[in-house]
């Protein structure tokens, strides 16, 4: 039986297993169109006439850069500036002021954006801090942004966005203040770009390169994993998050029935999580 868009069931099953093995992401069985949409150009660039012949090659070769490109193409997620708005409002009005007060002796904050894709989320946090917290200018503010995709990280480090990306979630005022037009695209300014440190991290592997974190953005990530992987990731978050720190998940995600170490915290329309007090 052939799947839609010419991808056979067995070929798509192989792709799903490849992705799960190396990223733990569960690719839904109805996403065959993603393979057709994103793998055609990779197959052609590698010299294959069809996606099927490309997949046949992947199946019979040791893991190499083409496997990596395939995985990255099928699991890299779309994002936007100040996505969903509410978490950023909560950060500005409640959680950052609270942590600033608690860290006034240390004068240091560590913020981690996991699965940062092309960088809009960490840059949004950097802009928020620059706009609303001038007192942090002489603090040590470490915004760490990670993704397992080297392609996404390269784009993120450049900080250059097209017209569609720049319009999604970013006001004209912020665009004019923090971006410059370059060849029909928009380049984020160096002061904001230098506030973010990008690292390649596969979430199912070691997080040893990270310091203890005050605020973790793990938004719209857990939805791609099965329950055992979700539990394992939240267990690692528990070890990485400072005892009074905050975890932000996506609006459709929760720690409920996954890890009872976390309690729900709500500010206006935003929900986040912190560790239960002992």
Q: Quick check: 25 pLDDT over 50?
A: yes
- DSSP class of residue 28? -
- What is the reported pLDDT for 229? 93
Partners of 161 in beta bridges: 186
Averaged pLDDT for residues 5-14: 81
Averaged pLDDT for residues 122-127: 98
Contact between 203 and 115 under an 8 Å Cβ cutoff? The reply is yes
Banded model confidence at residue 194, pLDDT cuts 50, 70, 90: very high
pLDDT in tens, 136-146: 999 999 999 99
What contacts 86, CB < 8 A, 6 or more positions away?
268, 269, 270
Distance CA 13, CA 19 (A): 10
94 CB neighbour count, 10 Å cutoff: 16
- What is the reported pLDDT for 5? 43
- Global pTM value: 0.87
Averaged pLDDT for residues 49-59: 91
- DSSP class of residue 37? H
Distance CA 129, CA 275 (A): 24
Distance CA 234, CA 239 (A): 9
Among 148, 126, 168, CA closest to 233: 148
Q: Quick check: 2 pLDDT over 50?
A: no
Banded model confidence at residue 6, pLDDT cuts 50, 70, 90: low
- Domain annotation for the chain: domains and CATH numbers: 4-75 (1.10.155.10), 86-275 (3.40.50.150)
Averaged pLDDT for residues 9-26: 88
- Please provide the average confidence, as pLDDT, over all residues in the chain: 91
CA 278, distance to chain mean position in Å, is 30
- What is the reported pLDDT for 120? 95
């Amino acid at each position: 039986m052939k799947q839609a868009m010419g991808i056979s069931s067995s070929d798509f099953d192989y792709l799903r297993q490849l992705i799960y093995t190396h990223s733990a992401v569960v690719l839904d069985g109805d996403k065959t169109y993603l393979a057709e949409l994103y793998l055609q150009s990779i197959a052609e660039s590698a010299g294959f006439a069809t996606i099927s012949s490309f997949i046949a090659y992947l199946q019979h070769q040791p893991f190499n850069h083409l496997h990596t490109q395939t995985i990255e193409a099928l699991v890299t997620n779309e994002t936007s500036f100040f996505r969903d708005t509410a978490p950023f409002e909560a950060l500005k009005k409640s959680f950052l002021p609270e942590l600033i007060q608690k860290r006034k002796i240390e004068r240091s904050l560590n913020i981690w954006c996991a699965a940062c894709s092309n960088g809009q989320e960490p840059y949004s946090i950097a802009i928020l801090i620059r706009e609303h917290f001038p007192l942090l200018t002489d603090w040590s503010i470490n915004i760490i942004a990670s993704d397992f995709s080297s392609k996404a990280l390269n784009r993120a480090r450049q900080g250059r966005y097209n017209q569609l990306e720049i319009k999604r979630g970013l006001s004209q005022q912020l665009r004019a203040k923090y971006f410059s037009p370059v060849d029909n695209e928009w380049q984020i300014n160096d002061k904001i770009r230098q506030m973010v440190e990008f690292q390649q991290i596969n979430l199912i592997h070691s997080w040893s390169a990270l310091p203890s974190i005050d605020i973790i953005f793990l938004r719209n990530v857990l939805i791609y994993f099965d329950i055992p992987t979700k539990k394992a990731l939240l267990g690692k978050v528990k070890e990485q998050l400072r005892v009074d720190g905050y975890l932000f998940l996506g609006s459709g995600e929760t720690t409920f029935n996954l890890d009872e170490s976390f309690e729900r915290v709500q500010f206006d329309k935003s929900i986040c999580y912190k560790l239960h007090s002992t």
